[in-house]
Amino acid sequence: MEKIEKSRFQWVGPNAEESEGIARPSITFWRDSMGRLMKNKVAVVCGIIIILLILLSIFAPIFSPFEGREQHLMHGNAPMFTRCDQTGHMHLFGTDTLGRDIFTRLWEGGRVSMFIAFAAVFCNLIIGVLYGGISGYFGGAVDNIMMRIVEIINGIPYLIIVILLMMILPPGVITIVVAYATTGWTGMARLVRGQIISLKEQEFVVAAKALGAGVPRLILRHLLPNSLSVVIVNLTLSIPNAIFTEAFLSYIGLGVQVPLSSWGMLAQAGSAAMRTYPSQLIVPAVCICLTMFSFNLLGDGLRDAFDPRLRR
């Protein structure tokens, strides 16, 4: 048997730099999720559609040659792509019964609808996260009482509460937001509570507590950021709900009041003229559906992207 001389071996020793080095650049949870979202073509397209709709709502009324309130009674109910007699500008989507330019009104309505949706969802976020956070963190009797209250609010159909509120408060945009926010936060509260309960026993929270972090800091800095992904998905999915509620209320005449326009109001006006001028209904209807559709798909995409089980 051949003997291997000792001199042929060499002590390499631990290389501190190499063993501490990281093979791949570390990817944070957020960057990983965003990367996965970007690969989901459907969600990306929906995100682009949403951004386009928002941009159109902001800028289309500014650049449109017509005013939303401007009436041309002689020129009412014009079909799509007709030119205005006096100025020669194009009415892209035609005019309504009072001769107002539907294209301009559509995007002015879009501003109102989007504003209501975002504001309402923002209110839900604040109330729901705080309520759920407190309830989940303290647990026990506090949790019990707080969740019973949620259960009772949930038991009453929210549209009924919203309609009742709309009757006491003066009609207007803010009222819709308030009415929606009074009932809409329960879903968020439940969700956040569940997350907090599952997180609060974990080591990093215990460590923070041992280091002397106070309750507000624990909830706001440690527990909530870790439940953020669930919250974002829920937010995205509740925007279509808010848009629907606004459209619904405006449609039955309790929502936005004239001379403001919103997509729900336009749809309502359009359905009155449906027999003779169907395009007046179809245009706002398409906008409502497109927005809800995109937000739903984007929400689905986000949920998939945030799901740790799908992480490679």
Partner 1 sequence: MWKYVLKRIGYAVITLFVLVTLTFFTMQLLPGDPFTGEKKVPEEVLQSIKAKYGLDKPVFEQYVMYMGNCLHGDLGDSMVTRRPVTTLLLGSFSVSFDLGMRALLFAFIGGVLLGIVAAVKRGTPWDTVTMIVALVGVSVPSFIVASVLQLFLGLQLPRATGIKLFPVTGWDGFASTVLPTFAMGFGSLATISRLMRTSMLDVLGSDYIKTARAKGISNKRIIWKHAVRNAVMPVVTVLGPITAGILTGGFVVENIFAIPGMGKYFVQSVQQTDYFLISGTTILYGGLLIVCNLAVDLVYGFIDPRVKLGKEEA
Which residues fall within 8 angstroms of residue 233, CB to CB, at 6 or more apart?
299, 302, 303, 306
Scanning 104-112, 124-132, 217-225, 250-258 for contacts with partner 1 by CB under 8 A, the matching segment is: 250-258
Q: Sign of dihedral through CA atoms 184, 187, 190, 191?
A: negative
DSSP 219-258: IIIIIHHHTHHHHHHHHHHHHHHHHHHHHHHHHTTSSSPT
**Nearer to partner 1 among residue 16 and residue 141 (C-beta):** 141
H helix and E strand count, the chain: 13, 2
**Nearer to partner 1 among residue 136 and residue 270 (C-beta):** 270
Query: Minimum Å distance from CB 66 to partner 1?
Result: 26
Is residue 208 helix, strand or coil? helix
Site string for partner 1, 124-163 (x = CB under 8 A): ---------------------------xx--xxx-xxx-x
267 binding partner 1? (CB under 8 A)? yes
**Nearer to partner 1 among residue 135 and residue 245 (C-beta):** 245
How many angstroms separate the CA atoms of 28 and 30, rounded?
Answer: 5
Q: Which of 44, 226, 248, 273 binds partner 1 (CB under 8 A)?
A: 248
How many angstroms separate the CA atoms of 171 and 165, rounded?
Answer: 10
253 binding partner 1? (CB under 8 A)? yes
DSSP 279-305: HHHHHHHHHHHHHHHHHHHHHHHHHHH
What's the length of the chain? 312
**73 sits in which H/E element:** none
Scanning 77-85, 128-136, 210-218, 286-294 for contacts with partner 1 by CB under 8 A, the matching segment is: 286-294
**Nearer to partner 1 among residue 68 and residue 264 (C-beta):** 264
Is residue 82 helix, strand or coil? strand
How many angstroms separate the CA atoms of 196 and 130, rounded?
Answer: 11
257 burial via Cβ count (<10 Å: 0-12, 13-18, 19+): middle
Q: Contacts with partner 1: how many residues (CB under 8 A)?
A: 36
292 binding partner 1? (CB under 8 A)? yes
Evaluate whether 129 touches 188 at the Cβ level (below 8 Å).
yes
Scanning 17-25, 108-116, 173-181, 288-296 for contacts with partner 1 by CB under 8 A, the matching segment is: 288-296
167 binding partner 1? (CB under 8 A)? yes
164 binding partner 1? (CB under 8 A)? yes
How many angstroms separate the CA atoms of 287 and 293, rounded?
Answer: 10
252 binding partner 1? (CB under 8 A)? yes
Alpha helices in 100-202 (DSSP H): 102-138, 140-155, 158-168, 173-199
Query: Minimum Å distance from CB 47 to partner 1?
Result: 16
Query: Minimum Å distance from CB 288 to partner 1?
Result: 6
271 binding partner 1? (CB under 8 A)? yes
208 binding partner 1? (CB under 8 A)? no
296 binding partner 1? (CB under 8 A)? yes
Query: Minimum Å distance from CB 284 to partner 1?
Result: 9
Binding site for partner 1 (CB under 8 A): 151-152, 155-157, 159-161, 163-165, 167-168, 240, 244, 247-248, 251-254, 267, 270-271, 274-275, 278, 281-282, 285, 288-289, 292-293, 296-297
